[in-house]
A and B are shown apart, each in its own frame.
Chain A
Amino acid sequence: MEAKKKVEPQYLPPEVYLSLEDIVGKEYITQERAILETYSKFSIDITGYLKKHAKDPSNIPACVVLPSTTEEVQAIVRLANKHKIPFVPFTNGQLGIANYPTKPVPTIFIHFSRMNKILEINTKTMAAKIQPYVDYGQLQADAMKVGLWNGGTPLSTSLCKISSQTALAGLYQTSMKYGTLGKNIISLKMVLPDGEILKTGSSSVDSVDDFWEYAPGPDIYGLFRGCAGTLGIITELTTKLHPWAGEKELPEPPAGRPSIRTYREDKYDHAPPPKLHRLYWVEYNDIDSEIKALREVAHSGIGIGLNAAGIYNTYYCSTTQEQTIKRTKENFFPPYNFYVICTGITSHKQLDYADKVINKIIKETGGTLLSKDHKPEVLKVLATWNLDCIRHVCGYRMSRYSYLDTWFLSGVPAVGKDAQEIWSEAINTIGETYITDRGGVDTTPFLYASDPCGRNFFTEADVYPNPIDPKSLQQAQQLMMFSIGKTIGKKIGPGITAFGASFEPLTSFFPEMGPNVHLFMRKLRKVFDPNGVCSPGRQIFTKEELQAVPPPVIEAINQLRQMNGLDPIDVSKSQ
């Protein structure tokens, strides 16, 4: 048999490794090849998958360290600065932000799996102080016991760490009431890229309690939020909690529990919603009526969450690949459907009021409520959401083919139509990679209210290429790039948000953003990361890194620019 080519990581100089060992202890550092492998391919990471196919070692860390305190993190960061060795903070790896440029440089991965404690739940200020490896589900479970909750979980999964969501997207199913995570952080304790410790919010002042989200004067937290771990490492954070109307625990599905023999049965997904919570599913005949209804609900003063999941219900609510494909082919779910989550925080009567309002809106906007009289079989399957709308477990239920990239747009509800237009053009130009590429966002965009009163909605197109097939991966990547390019090029309004445009290599190549976002970001990086060692090349290149971008990459992006009527970027002249 022909020997396959090995992929060799770059290791640290032994003296650096030994110093790291002194910091965290022998048990909590490794450069074992098999372990390193498990830190080298992520979710939502076509680039990483392609690197695997290309036998490119640049995603494989030189070592993984597991610090247990802020002081240990600080010591690691200081050591890395001393030796000018890059480091990357790491929690789940659910969002692959592949390092760039592709030149393999020995990199220290700082995995926070040991910093997983809830340090305090303060019922008076409705706040929780936590370590970086605490996830939404954990926090929610503990908060519910004292009549509070964290206002939702991300639409990917409740396992997301709150720290990494602070550094990234942070959208909830319940953002219509509670906003995004960005609005829910009270303070961060950060180890800055140069090893200094910085606290934000009121806790930045020595004599003050940790209860208020702004520091005196200009708010540095705003810069860290969404910086994807490039401006510092969160070692503690304080997040807001909100009044919770349900019980101390989420309800159990009445069907009991599955075993590894019976997991395929839908009934295990069908728990009732929590006490004092109700879900309404509404169907529409066309997108315009749906959008109108979404806006009316968002403005109606009821509900905590509003979400049109469209075709993605075929994933969330199906337990096997076959079921997913079958339901997609059969249009099992009505294309234009959304749910409203209502709750009775004030009282039970609040729910009765919401019931009246939602029915009136349905009548006004020509929708139909899913009920025992209308598509009960669909309503039954959608019951997955009864608990997922509070604590999202099934967000990664993508079956065999992985969820590998996302293109996000945000704006007023009509942004859904922009998504339709761009995505249709993308699949008509590039071609499909999976069954849901067509008949998905091009027909029925995912739309979820992400801001109080629904001033802002998110819509997205996700791709599910076959991970074994590099051609399929490349095609999916082209679909994403095409959509991002179109969005910027057309200036139709919506922005590309969570992924893509504010990660390199796009930040530097689309100076239209802002404009001048790239210049501002570059200044921030200079201030916080003078040695360029904290997740380098991720959010913004330094000028030197920009010059080093391989010509084929520059060419590809410039083609995309020209396709959209934008002038190509001359890297040598770029500021």
Chain B
Amino acid sequence: MTDEFAVEMQDVVKRFTTPEGGILAAVNHVTMQIRDGEFFSLLGPSGCGKTTSLRMIAGFELPTEGKILIHGKDVSQIAPFQRPVNTVFQQYALFPHMTVEQNIGFGLEMKGVSKVERSARVSEALEMVRLPGMEMRKPKQLSGGQQQRIALARALVNKPEVLLLDEPLGALDLKLRKEMQLELKSLQREVGITFIYVTHDQEEALTMSDRIAVMSKGVALQVDKPEAIYERPATKFVADFIGETNFLDGVVRGQTGSTVEVDLPGTGTVYIESSRTFANGQQATVAVRPEKMTLNREISGGNNLTGRVEEVIYIGTDTHYGVRFAGSHKARVREQNVTQGQKALASIGDEAVVSFTRTSPRLLTE
């Protein structure tokens, strides 16, 4: 058993019986390794199985199949109160009848830590979340952001091997959420505890994580660093869920070394660099980020497609151009407004050339 991994999920399946009597696999054969000390995010839309995965690591749900290891120890069938993990709940789940001090000290009290040491560690934890002197308050007397920090302190004060966070910032307003994202990240670096963070917010995941697992329909589609997830999405779902992507559907016509020739019916032929091997006649989708496309600035040796501008949207930092090609393809091009008083590169109804290099797209088959 290696224990460089904080948490390992080995072929984990969780099936639920639905109220209609059907069986639903909320988590379907998920295998992943979460390294010690990393900030790991489970990202996906609601119902993708991210929260169920987290709850299985916490012990609130038991896996139907497969194993969950924490630092090499099989905890699959162990009760939550015997696991070396702590959770920050979505709605904080602070005990309303206890003071802040009693809330934070609860875990230590259960472990039998003496009252004196407890109160010292509680005030230490309160300083860590920058709410010193709040010991005697009741949760009701605190704002949402403060409750969130207390929930964090209540979990961290136990020095868990792994901290589980279930959309902890979901209930906060946007500005506070951004602040807390950075704070959580620096806190994680400071304490060095492995964080497993569940979120449906891709920006949040990209901002905070060392690695991200993108989940959909109970399956982990891709587990990688934020840059890799964004730059090299493995599937159309990942490309679409993380950021904005143009999908141009086509057919592979040939491959010379790493260069793949793709016919976009009616629109033209493009050449894409890919490390994968494609068969002739295979359906494939060219996925290009809007910021990796240019308008009316042809790239020699790149792909240049002519279309008609349908939409021009000025959003301050950028201008977005919606372009429709002769086939059924559409693309959105993002051009940065670099110079003062920059004129639009094209107007609605103009013919325009959309260009991108051979290396910037991803050629996806699923």
Co-assembled chains A and B: no
Residues of chain A at the chain B interface (Cβ within 8 Å): none
Residues of chain B at the chain A interface (Cβ within 8 Å): none
